[in-house]
Structure 1
């Protein structure tokens, strides 16, 4: 036994990842409601039945796409082991990245609002996701304080919660305002006002 995954298993994982990447792109283009599983299957070079083998429902695919987006964005936020001010800078850069993918932002905004209902299938996901997001922002502010870069009177716990709320609120304004809101600019200015160093 070499401990390596069987070839078929690795191939299946690669196909699943390809489906998630293609679904994220398709949802970004057409939105969740406008995205067709048959179109997605064609893009992935598999049959509709083959797609359903990996994701039996569109709802299951949606949850997997949201989780995949978080993994990709989380890895990007942590790139190079950034902490403190560097991590806060990445939040502003993430807002800039989001301004290039309206469909994904719209999908996230709509589903997160629907998932406030306890019986929604994505409720647990969003409870965990917001807990992790807030904690990550709070850690970044706490690290900025250790770096001597946080202004006096700024509490990391409060600032982290406010940052995530601001990001989500800006996304709603951006969607409703036909993308006129400069999400990254507003977020950058907000964080900069809390720091003693340049963001």
Structure 2
């Protein structure tokens, strides 16, 4: 899986070669195809693994309501240790905007699920009195996701100048203050 993540990050989906991935892990292409019958299946496995790790990390400390921002801060920090996975995700997310890309549906569904999960947590915050009742939870959820993805892209391009975790923590602090009732 790691070799596929690296290859998709390095070459992008379209230019990525199953033969090269197989070679990098010491398999024949037929051997790789035994485990992943198509390139699309391998791509789906890579994306699912990334999402599984992120979801597990996001839900790990059981933070609810506005405190989900703390869980997201930890996730952003953790992603600095997964450069290849973040790079692969970013490349594939960009490529998936093409109508016929095999990961388009996966990314569309994933973004919908992530926005819904964050918006639901914000709604819990409203119900508990920790978040202003006039908050547009769906819009804030989309903003949070956009901020994380934008910071990831900038960090990948210039990690020396863009301190992704610090910038997200500062954003989360401003958001917490703005959402207080």
With the length of structure 1 as denominator, give the TM-score of the two structures: 0.74
Distance change in 2, residues 1:102/1:80 (3 Å): closer
Task: Measure how far apart 1:179 and its partner are.
Answer: 4.6
Q: For 1:4-44, what per-residue CA distance to the aligned partner results, in whole angstroms no more than 9, with x for missing partners? A: xxxxxxxxxxxxxxxx4x446x528x83428722222x3xx
Give secondary structure in 1 for the equivalent of 2:115.
helix
Which residue of structure 2 lines up, in the alignment, with residue 84 of structure 1?
A: 65
Could you say what the CA RMSD is over the residues aligned between the two structures, in angstroms? 2.7
Aligned counterpart, 1:132: 113
- Total equivalences in the alignment: 172
Shift of residue 95, structure 1, vs aligned partner? 0.9
How far 1:191 moved relative to its partner?
1.8
In structure 2, the partner of 1:13 is none
Structure 2 residue runs of 5 or longer lacking an equivalent are none
Q: CA deviation at 1:146?
A: 2.6
Give the TM-score, by structure 2 length.
0.81
Partner of 1:36 in structure 2?
21
Alignment pair present for 1:27 and 2:12: no
CA distance in 1, matches of 2:61, 2:151: 27
* Cα shift at 1:180: 2.7
Gaps of 5+ in 1: 1-19
Asked whether the equivalents of residues 37 and 58 of structure 1 are also in contact (C-alpha less than 8 Å), the reply is: no
Say which structure, 1 or 2, has more relative contact order (CA 8 Å, 6+ apart): 2
- Asked if the contact 2:6/2:85 (under 8 Å) is kept, the reply is yes
Match of 1:116 in 2: 97
